[in-house]
Amino acid sequence: MGAVTPAVDVSGPTSLGDLFQSVEGRKVLTCIQCGVCAGTCPYGDVMDHPPRRIIAMLRSGMLEKVFSSESRLACVACYACMAKCRAASG
Task: Please give the pLDDT value at position 7.
Answer: 44
Task: Please give the pLDDT value at position 10.
Answer: 44
Is there a contact between 31 and 25 (Cβ–Cβ < 8 Å)? no
**pTM, full prediction:** 0.72
Summarize pLDDT for 22-65 with one digit per residue, the tens: 888 888 888 999 999 999 999 988 899 999 999 999 888 898 89
Q: How far apart are CA 12 and CA 10, in angstroms?
A: 6
**Higher-scoring residue by pLDDT: 19, 49:** 49
Query: What are the backbone dihedrals phi and psi of residue 28, each rounded to the nearest 5 degrees, phi first?
Result: -60, -35
CA distances from 90 to 1, 8, 37, 83, 87 (A): 49, 29, 15, 12, 6
